[in-house]
């Protein structure tokens, strides 16, 4: 199937490269990614997916095998993004839970926030469909030495609350957030803030109490995101507690 990896990269290479001074390796990878970057903008990736590839009309199960091979075998950020894009498409939502055993293994290749966030969307949809299948894996990842697995374990719990029809009980969410409060990794801390913000949208009172109780442990990066949707009075109260705790 390596011809599929080559075909996708050749198709993407036909688009004009990013001309801005922004360095995708630094912006997307944060200096931590080992992937190559062609340097394409998101609209070009979307155009490539819409145009399709020689295998795009294959049956769904065959496409799962092809995109799985592409994800596991490419060393190019944009090529791997195409594999994510296929599963991210709402048209594939119904098949996601069935292919959890395949998608679970994709976590091992995450080394940047953009791929992490897109995979978290996919995982959040699977969690909504069948939390018994995926939640135990998130619990396992939650104590991993790999910070990207830790980030996946919390961001995948909700992603955006506005996109969820069903959300886990707050205890199941906070049980995974709490161990990350003092884990010193920028992208894990951003994930903590993100998840607390979305939990607050659904469980405002109890999430506020959690933030209040753990105010001295919540990092600045997490605090900023966690309190984003809170009323000014609550936010000022928490800021006062942070100052006092220091």
For the stretch 32-42, pLDDT in tens is 788 999 999 99
Gap between the Cα atoms of 48 and 42, Å rounded? 10
Quote the pLDDT of residue 213.
97
> How do residues 94-143 score in pLDDT, each as one tens digit?
999 999 999 999 999 999 999 999 999 999 999 999 999 999 999 999 99
- Domains along the sequence of the chain with CATH: 1-84 (no CATH), 96-246 (1.25.10.90)
Spatial distance between the Cα atoms of 109 and 203, rounded to a whole number of angstroms: 33
Residues 193-216: pLDDT tens digits? 999 999 999 999 999 999 999 999
pLDDT for the residue numbered 17: 85
pLDDT at residue 31, as a whole number: 67
Cα 49 to chain centroid distance, Å, stands at 20
Phi, psi of 76 (to 5 degrees): -110, 125
Q: Which two tokens stand for residue 150?
A: 């830790």
The token pair at 91 is 């048209």
pLDDT computed for residue 26 by the predictor: 65
pLDDT of residue 21: 53
Strand ranges in 35-84 using DSSP code E only, listed in sequence order? none
What distances in angstroms separate CA 19 from CA 14, 41, 76, 104, one per listed residue? 15, 10, 19, 35
pLDDT band at 73 (very low <50, low <70, confident <90, very high): very high
SS3 for 18?
Answer: coil
| Average pLDDT score over the chain | 94
pTM for the structure as a whole: 0.94
Counting every residue written for the chain, the total comes to: 246
Alpha carbons 109 and 92: distance in angstroms, whole number: 21
Query: pLDDT higher for 16 or 152?
Result: 152
Which of these, 87, 92, 8, 91, lies nearest to 51 by C-alpha position?
8
Percentage of the chain with pLDDT > 70? 95
| Measured distance CA(12)–CA(18) in Å, rounded | 12
pLDDT score of 28? 80
Asked if 229 contacts 200 with a C-beta cutoff of 8 angstroms, the reply is yes
34: Cβ contacts below 8 Å, ≥ 6 apart: 75, 111
**H-run or E-run covering 103:** helix 100-103
**Could you give the C-alpha distances from 5 to 65, 103, 118, 212, in angstroms and in order?**
12, 18, 20, 49
């Amino acid at each position: 199937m390596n011809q599929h990896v080559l075909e996708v990269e050749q198709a993407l290479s036909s688009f004009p490269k990013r001309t801005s001074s922004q360095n995708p390796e630094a912006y997307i990878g944060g200096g931590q990614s080992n992937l190559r970057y062609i340097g394409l903008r998101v609209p070009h990736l979307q155009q490539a997916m819409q145009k399709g590839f020689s295998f795009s009309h294959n049956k769904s199960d065959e496409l799962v095998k092809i995109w799985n091979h592409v994800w596991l075998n490419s060393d190019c950020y944009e090529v791997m993004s195409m594999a994510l894009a296929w599963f991210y498409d709402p048209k594939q939502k119904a098949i996601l839970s069935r292919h959890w055993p395949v998608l679970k293994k994709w976590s091992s290749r995450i080394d940047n926030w953009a791929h992490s966030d897109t995979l978290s969307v996919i995982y959040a949809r699977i969690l909504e469909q069948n939390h018994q299948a995926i939640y135990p894996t998130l619990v396992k990842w939650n104590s991993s030495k790999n910070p990207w697995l830790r980030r996946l374990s919390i961001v995948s719990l909700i992603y955006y609350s506005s996109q969820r029809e069903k959300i886990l009980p707050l205890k199941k969410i906070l049980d995974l957030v709490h161990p990350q409060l003092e884990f010193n990794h920028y992208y894990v801390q951003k994930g903590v803030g993100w998840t607390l913000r979305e939990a607050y949208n659904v469980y405002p009172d109890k999430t506020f109490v959690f933030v209040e109780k753990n105010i001295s442990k919540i990092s600045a990066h997490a605090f900023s995101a966690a309190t984003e949707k809170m009323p000014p009075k609550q936010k000022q109260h928490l800021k006062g507690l942070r100052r006092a705790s220091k």
